[in-house]
Amino acid sequence: MKRAPLCSLLALLLMLLTLSASFAQIVAVPNSLNFQGRLAKPDGTPVPDNTYSIRFRLFDALTGGNVKFTQTVSGIAVKNGAFTATLSGFAAGTFDGALYLEIKIGNDPVLTPVSHS
């Protein structure tokens, strides 16, 4: 009679392990990333509404470092400084470790992040 509770407990444990194994499936990470940003002049006013070519690069170090990803997206519509772009074509291991984003608009110099208080 004392074995019944132990058997019930083991059966319950086995059911929980079976259920958790069925939920622990690995899902492939999509190979694209939606990026949203705001382009502004140094005084904080948005850039003029237009379409722009924007180059995105990911580095593995804040200065210097290796380029882990690069993509130029042409024809990005910018309205009131806001834009969205879909980046794709990431190589395996792109997101391993720390990454630093560089953004360049057309032929302008690379953008420098500014903190507004």
C-alpha to C-alpha distance for 77 and 28, rounded to whole angstroms: 30
pTM of this structure: 0.70
pLDDT tens-digit map of 19-64: 555 555 665 666 888 999 999 888 989 999 999 999 999 999 888 8
pLDDT tens-digit map of 82-101: 999 999 999 888 888 899 99
